[in-house]
Amino acid sequence: MPNYFEKIAYDKSLLKDEPVLEDLNDFDVANYISYEAAYINFIRQVVVAQKRSTDLVFNDKVKKIFVDGGFAKMKLICSC
């Protein structure tokens, strides 16, 4: 199904308690029970990486990150 990822709803029960990755290339989808679980956990890693990068530039002074464009249409992103 094209664009299936757009229909994935945030489901907190699918989040794994795992360390933040230093490199997103180290994310292994084989560690998850389903496509949805892998996707939700990967997006969380992306959001954390973005926050970490923003903090480097703005010295931890950022309290909110506003999401726009295609990502803003995803309820998943706005739930992380």
Kindly state the average pLDDT of the residues 8-26. 89
- Return the pLDDT at 31: 94
Task: Indicate the pTM of the whole model.
Answer: 0.76
User: In this predicted structure, what is the pLDDT of residue 25?
Assistant: 95
In whole angstroms, what is the distance from residue 32 CA to residue 51 CA? Answer: 24
Band (pLDDT 50/70/90 cuts) for residue 27 is: very high
- Are 44 and 19 in contact by the 8 Å Cβ rule? The answer is no
Residue 77 has pLDDT above 60, yes or no: no
Domain ranges of the chain: 4-79
Q: Quote the pLDDT of residue 52.
A: 86
Average pLDDT over residues 3-7: 81
